[in-house]
Structure 1
């Protein structure tokens, strides 16, 4: 099973498994001059700067942007990579070194594909999934599948966390881990039926590193676990809130639409609320995906192809939204600085811990002035000022010549990692692969 998202977006959530006024930001064209200060670098390279020979689509950042984790099938990023499968890597942007993380404590290469890494705020802990059976002792199981692992880079400890209290592996696959800032909590989706008593396959669970226990997340307000159909968790930095997608009709009253909705579970208060509702609190008919939640649990960003979330949504494409759970309002995020809705598909949002910035990708040409490349770009929306900024550019401001998608952002909103097919974001990009880039906005 390919757990990595496709680079190209369709604009329809149904096809994906998985303000004030300010000056419009000018965008440099192919030979443009002045542009807002930024610096773009390619990070899916070896310690010597050699290009990868396979694609890298998604990356995650430590809070200061120094460390970037990603998965790749490339065999040339580190010496001795001969397992011919996907591995998890870490790029240190300060020392310009790349190391492989998906190895056993003894340094043995994995015998199965690894991916979907996420990193803690300080870069110490990294969680990822792997099909390998040799990463930890007792890793093999009768039915080989994906497990979730947690690596402590400080002491080198690698633990399989998708297992029963007595150390037995899950009887189904596990995907999409999300880690809290301190590395204590890891939420993930599981298709195993034996990890948590009373919780069947197709649910979201959370691992507590301190207690080494798993608990259910995709539960109704009364604590009842859903039958199935919950996935794609995203945990808040403080580990209190988990946003996720669910097709279940049991999580909130009046859920009768039969589509994927965004929910937020407050693990302290024990409440579950639906976030993918319209500005006037009505249920929507379209699918929603990509939920993420701010640190205080107030702001939830997601994307949807439903046209009734906000008034005047007539572009016929997927859009990015933010739900204010405290005020009970839903806001369109994929707009230009002056509030004009995107004229094409927008998706894959990521929100900062304070809820101020949202980064997303979009094929729209009207979000910033001078966007003429006709491909998916990565943008940043400042929800406080309303400013929309084009992120996926070369350091001199030149637009990318192909799609850039799947952004993740640091807590301060200034450093963004994303995958791109563009060949002109940095010099010497000749490998013909999707690469991982990091852009730092200096202004």
Structure 2
């Protein structure tokens, strides 16, 4: 899981954090020869799957790639890759961030410094604006990681956090996400001067948001009494309008204390998921158990575009044999209601799910990775397929299938969907999603669209 922070000294952590989380899923998924068909599966309504991490000339990536986002109109796909063959006639960085125009087939390197040169080290996290024009990312220059915004239309890069490698410890900024209009960028920073006048402690990880129009920076992960958060906060996500920021935290002072002094959150060694309404200045727990109490959560959550719903994974009883397991949930941040996201209607089925889920703009569908078994399963036989579920009816459809409609032979994760929800971008290790698919079971990026329904 995305449990380690990124640091300038160990940028491999930025990439391998995703690889390690993915490798854990792959190790579990690869042990399965076949699984039971998902409950309530509908007839296929999907067109063919297409590979996205391709060079401009159509050559397939020669190394691993992971999904990072898709524009609201579904035209531009953002992904990170360690491939060396995605740029025609130019040397690729060790790890770069790319945008592919799904209409024209053009692949563009976007992790560039202010002078336009490729950054040698780019962070795994990045975000894309609704129109695909702006890319928010973190990259290393002069020994420190900063947050940048690349304007693809003008070919310019703006630096948002101008940290320097001075003193001791980590002074970097990471994990940027961007609102649909490109105005607001939220990120995690270990700096103690990211917001003027904010009383934060050096080496503390906090979540901030910057308004690119006014230049104002705001500390998001702040205690209910205005004091600094007493634990690290990270992994921000942002609503399309930039009003709501979600994040994970081990702080215990983000909510007002209940009578008797209990703030109503888990102990500091656990992670709790929060959502802050920047207009109202209110913070709520987003990662709720079905009983309405804060759950022990995976560190990644996703907000719906309107900021009303949060999708997240909570720790659950292990699979048979002691394998770790998380279950997927969606909470309504207005009402506090919690819905379990499962591929089986059988309450006794053993189910699992990944936290990287995507909710469509109309709050109708959720795309997610996971699975269920209606029988006792042996250890190591959990498969992570990609599904979409109708949040109103509960109807569940399998999305990631082989070319001939049979079971994929790997695992699929981290979906992103455009505004209409009819296309999904995802990462997979499967070798049979496209004709003549990759010969090795590395992570690659794919897209699939509805033909009807």
Relative to the length of structure 1, the TM-score reads 0.83
Partner of 1:19: none
Residues 39-54 of structure 1 aligned to structure 2 (within 5 Å): 39-54=48-63
Please report how far the alpha carbon of residue 339 of structure 1 lies from its aligned counterpart in structure 2 after TM superposition.
5.9
Whole-angstrom distance in 1 between the partners of 2:104 and 2:200:
44
- Please tell me whether residue 79 in structure 1 is matched to residue 106 in structure 2: no
Whole-angstrom distance in 2 between the partners of 1:374 and 1:318:
11
Whole-angstrom distance in 2 between the partners of 1:171 and 1:318:
31
Partner of 1:291: 301
Inter-CA distance 80–174: structure 2 relative to 1 (3 Å threshold): farther
Partner of 1:190: 189
Partner of 1:8: 23
Contact 2:122–2:137, Cα closer than 8 Å, also in 1: no
Residues 302-341 of structure 1 aligned to structure 2 (within 5 Å): 302-306=312-316, 317-336=325-344, 338=345, 340=347
Residue from 17, 22, 25 that aligns with 2:41: 25
Residue from 405, 408, 420 that aligns with 2:416: 408
CA RMSD of aligned residues (A): 2.8
Inter-CA distance 36–115: structure 2 relative to 1 (3 Å threshold): same
Partner of 2:353: 346
Contact 2:126–2:135, Cα closer than 8 Å, also in 1: yes
Deviates more, 1:55-64 or 1:349-358: 349-358
Whole-angstrom distance in 1 between the partners of 2:232 and 2:402:
40
The structure with higher relative contact order (CA 8 Å, sep 6+) is 1
Partner of 1:176: 175
Whole-angstrom distance in 2 between the partners of 1:332 and 1:417:
23
- Please tell me whether residue 228 in structure 1 is matched to residue 231 in structure 2: yes
Residue from 259, 262, 270 that aligns with 2:273: 262
Partner of 1:136: none
Inter-CA distance 59–278: structure 2 relative to 1 (3 Å threshold): closer
Inter-CA distance 276–211: structure 2 relative to 1 (3 Å threshold): same
Partner SS for 1:3: helix
Whole-angstrom distance in 2 between the partners of 1:124 and 1:94:
15
Deviates more, 1:273-282 or 1:52-61: 273-282
Please report how far the alpha carbon of residue 346 of structure 1 lies from its aligned counterpart in structure 2 after TM superposition.
0.8
Residue from 280, 283, 306 that aligns with 1:272: 283
Q: Deviations over 1:94-141 (max 9, x none)?
A: 00111111234554332334542211111111111112x2xxxxxx3x
Please report how far the alpha carbon of residue 225 of structure 1 lies from its aligned counterpart in structure 2 after TM superposition.
2.9
Partner of 2:385: 377
Q: Deviations over 1:281-307 (max 9, x none)?
A: 2344x3343222234433221111146
Whole-angstrom distance in 1 between the partners of 2:182 and 2:388:
26
Please report how far the alpha carbon of residue 202 of structure 1 lies from its aligned counterpart in structure 2 after TM superposition.
0.6
Partner SS for 2:369: strand
Deviates more, 1:105-114 or 1:144-153: 105-114
Residues 158-169 of structure 1 aligned to structure 2 (within 5 Å): 158-163=157-162
Contact 1:181–1:239, Cα closer than 8 Å, also in 2: yes
Partner SS for 1:8: helix
Inter-CA distance 365–339: structure 2 relative to 1 (3 Å threshold): closer
Partner of 1:199: 200
Partner of 2:310: 300
Gap runs ≥5 in structure 1? 12-21, 27-33, 134-139, 308-314, 368-372
Q: Deviations over 1:157-216 (max 9, x none)?
A: 20111237x9x9996222211111101011111112221232342110011110122211
Whole-angstrom distance in 1 between the partners of 2:127 and 2:373:
31
Whole-angstrom distance in 1 between the partners of 2:146 and 2:160:
8
Relative to the length of structure 2, the TM-score reads 0.81
Partner SS for 1:39: coil
Whole-angstrom distance in 2 between the partners of 1:220 and 1:182:
29
Contact 1:299–1:324, Cα closer than 8 Å, also in 2: yes
Please report how far the alpha carbon of residue 384 of structure 1 lies from its aligned counterpart in structure 2 after TM superposition.
1.4
- Please tell me whether residue 116 in structure 1 is matched to residue 115 in structure 2: no
Please report how far the alpha carbon of residue 374 of structure 1 lies from its aligned counterpart in structure 2 after TM superposition.
6.0
Partner SS for 2:372: coil
